Amino acid sequence: MIKPYGSEILTPLYVKEESRRKILLDEAEKIPSVVISSAAAANAVMLGGGYFNPLRGYMNLVDVLSVAERMQMYSGLLWPTPVINLLKVDLVSEEIKSAGKITLRDPNIEGNPVIAIQSVDNIETISKEQIRIVSEQIYGTSSFEHPGVAEFVDSGDTLISGPIEVLNYSYFSTDFPDTFKTAVEIRNEIKERGWESVVAFQTRNPMHRAHEELCRMAQKELNADGILVHMLLGKLKKGDIPADVRNASIRKMVELYFPENTVMIAGYGFDMLYAGPREAVLHAIFRQNSGCSHLIVGRDHAGVGDYYGAFDSQTIFDRLPDGVLQIEIFRGDHTVWCHKCEKVMMMRDCPHGKEDYLLLSGTRVREILAKGKNLPPEFSRPEVAEILSEYYQTL
């Protein structure tokens, strides 16, 4: 199986040993604590599950600026996006400033239970100008209209860096017990299934016919043993499909339209960044750490609005140093239903023209579903469309 990114073995930061957990939970009640942001909590979950291997905790300001400017940490490790615990200054008490360790509390669960304990290496202020520069370099814009930029700016201006020990996986393990999986668990399942090569499909949306066929095309072309359909379970921008609806529709599609033991369904606990090319590289690291040999990167991967070119998330991989990632990229084109071919095709492989294609925008799809009408079977499996239609009619 492919090695994890940046190390010989995967080093998740979740504390499994019960005696150590008890010590940390006792300690958590005696040291200063703070309710962190949803983004920082999601970072803790990803560190705990091994997805951020080989990182040991939250980045300091030098690393944040280096990652933004050069896409690598001060140590030289390639990393595409900051992994930070960023807080509003009024949350950082004098007690926290003088502490060697602090308790991090989950903002997404009632009662704010302990999610991790952090050793405090540095507490630093990131200036407004630095926030603007980082936004430009990571997201390609400093506009508050971009959901990732808005979340970043709203989180605060005080960075607390240092290693963490993770004590739970927030709401992901309880709300999605059959879907949430750590990178460790995915690796173990790949071994149990006897797969050698695995192609991963990243999604924050339900899967329509084009997505389904793109997975099949990639599996066939790469001769892969299996497909990992890996869905984001964290926070999304307004208007995106909730994780529970997405989960139900994807499971129905796989159950009815894929052969047994060819697809693994899993989810991961992260809040979407909408960082386009930078997030595509991050997605590749996630999947290498999960044991996948390939990642499908399609049109406008991890994009939003018109901030990125249609294939910027593919061409960014051409600029990475040779061999820095072991995982390989399968590059998808625009996928459409071609009436003459009578199937879903990638445009680059189809001999016909736009007049022969069925094209539906996301806006048009939502309009159809909200009215309780059926989506064309060429666009969506009827069983999937039914689940989506029921959701949209509740809005």
pLDDT (0 to 100) of residue 343? 87
Residues 6+ apart with CB under 8 A from 285: 5, 51, 52, 79, 80, 325
* Half-sphere exposure (Cβ direction) of 189: Cα atoms closer than 13 Å: 20
User: Which residues of the chain are in CATH 3.40.50.620 domains?
Assistant: 177-268+274-332
Active site residue 374: no
Question: Nearest 5°: phi and psi at 29?
Answer: -85, -10
Judge whether 248 and 387 are in contact, CB under 8 Å. Answer: yes
Residues 32 and 93: beta-carbon distance below 8 Å: yes
The predicted structure's pLDDT at residue 337: 87
* Tokens 């509390």 -> residue: 105
- 60 catalytic per annotation: no
Residue whose C-alpha is closest to residue 17's, from 184, 178, 166: 166
Rounded Cα gap, residues 47 and 235, in angstroms? 17
Superfamily classification of domain 18-170: Sulfate adenylyltransferase (3.10.400.10)
Q: pTM of the entire structure?
A: 0.94
Q: DSSP letter string over 365-390?
A: HHHHHHTTPPPPTTTS-HHHHHHHHH
pLDDT at position 212 is: 92
Distance CA 136, CA 122 (A): 25
Options 205, 251, 331, 366, the catalytic residue: 205
Q: Which two tokens stand for residue 42?
A: 């999601």
Level-2 CATH architecture, domain 177-268+274-332: 3-Layer(aba) Sandwich (3.40)
Q: What is the DSSP string of 249-291?
A: HHHHHHHHHS-TTSEEEEEE-------THHHHHHHHHHHHHTT
Every domain of the chain with CATH number 3.10.400.10 lies at 18-170
Query: Do residues 151 and 135 make contact, with C-beta atoms less than 8 angstroms apart?
Result: no
CA-to-CA distance for 81 and 103, rounded, in angstroms?
Answer: 24
Q: Residue 9 corresponds to which tokens in the numbers above?
A: 């073995």
Q: Are 274 and 311 in contact (CB under 8 A)?
A: no
Query: pLDDT of the chain along its 395 residues, tens only?
Result: 999 999 999 999 999 999 999 999 999 999 999 999 999 999 999 999 999 999 999 999 999 999 999 999 999 999 999 999 999 999 999 999 999 999 999 999 999 999 999 999 999 999 999 999 999 999 999 999 999 999 999 999 999 999 999 999 999 999 999 999 999 999 999 999 999 999 999 998 888 888 999 999 999 999 999 999 999 999 888 878 889 999 999 999 999 999 999 999 999 999 999 999 999 999 999 999 999 999 999 988 999 989 999 899 999 999 999 999 999 999 988 888 889 998 888 888 899 988 889 876 666 777 888 888 888 888 889 999 999 988 988 87
As a residue count, the chain comes to 395
> Which listed residue (204, 246, 299, 381) is catalytic?
204
CA atoms within 13 A on the CB side of 153: 18
pLDDT of residue 114: 98
CA pair distance 379, 374, nearest whole angstrom? 10
